[in-house]
Amino acid sequence: MKTARMSLLVPLLMFAGVSFAEDSHAQKTETREVDDFESLAVGHGIKAKVKVGPKSVRVEGPAELLSRLRLVVKDGQLTTEVERQGVFGNNFSGGKVRLYVSSPQLEGVEASGGSHVEAEVAASDEFSAEASGGAALTVRGMDTDKVEVEASGGAVVNLEGRARELNVEASGGAVVKAMELKGVKSLDVEASGGVRVEADPSERLSVDATGGTTVQCVSRPPRTEVKARGGTRVVYLKD
């Protein structure tokens, strides 16, 4: 009798295990309620899209991953957090998760840890763009007086729109592409370690860079101050 019971129990346990595995990998969509926020920080390899509109936050991905993803607002910044699993780390496949954010206005966006963020933003007085750890950040639609950029660890930042002043602090092979950021009058660059910065300042350029950095501009502005060391180059396309 015990043998018969066991022979029935084993298939049931196997079926339950398969069902659980299938449920944990099933695609899910969730709308998340969050407090008001003024900036966004995305990490863990998550792919995010941001648009201008009424506040809303939606996530898509495998059910198991969404169950571990927390979206919290700290000091006005909407941040992605991941619940640890197991003793040896997170094991969180963020590339399978999509984050969709709508906000009437953002003052800054951060991307880290291999995340990919594409953001459409509204006009603002100032804007901050930060990327690190191999992340890719694209910001479109900017209309602002000043843009502050921080990039490191092989991250790529693309900027489109309009701004009067662009300040870049970058290191570790980061790339900042801002040729599509129109109306820039002043560009300040502090960089090291193989960084590449592309922009088109019309009035002023200040560069303090070392370690193989390349700064590329369309033409030489009337006011130029360059401190270039260790293989750093400043290139003017129209020279």
Bridge-based pairing of strands 98-103 and 56-62 is antiparallel
Ramachandran angles phi, psi of 107, nearest 5°: -100, -10
Please state, rounded to an integer, the average pLDDT across all residues of the chain. 91
- 91 vs 85: CA distance, rounded Å: 7
Q: Which domain holds residue 210?
A: 123-239
Q: What is the pLDDT of residue 18?
A: 46
pLDDT in tens, 120-137: 999 999 999 999 999 999
- 17 vs 85: CA distance, rounded Å: 19
Local confidence band at 95 (pLDDT 50, 70, 90 cut-offs): confident
- 130 vs 151: CA distance, rounded Å: 6
Q: What is the pLDDT of residue 1?
A: 52
What pTM does this model have? Answer: 0.88
* Residue 115 within a domain: no
In the DSSP assignment, the letter for residue 114 is T
Nearest alpha-carbon partner for 57 in 95, 96, 100 = 100
Q: Are residues 149 and 60 in the same domain?
A: no
Instruction: State the CATH number of the domain containing residue 151.
Output: 2.160.20.120
* Residue 113 within a domain: no
Local confidence band at 14 (pLDDT 50, 70, 90 cut-offs): low
Number of domains composing the chain: 2
Q: Are residues 129 and 33 in the same domain?
A: no
pLDDT in tens, 25-82: 799 999 999 999 999 999 999 999 999 999 999 999 999 999 999 999 999 999 999 8
* Residue 161 within a domain: yes
* Residue 23 within a domain: no
Q: Are residues 134 and 218 in the same domain?
A: yes
* Residue 21 within a domain: no
* Residue 16 within a domain: no
Quick check: helix, strand or coil at residue 35? coil
Alpha helices in the chain (DSSP H): 2-25, 63-68
Mean pLDDT of the region 201-224: 98
Structure tokens at 54: 């009424």
Q: Which residues contact 167 (CB under 8 A, 6 or more apart)?
A: 146, 147, 148, 149, 187, 188
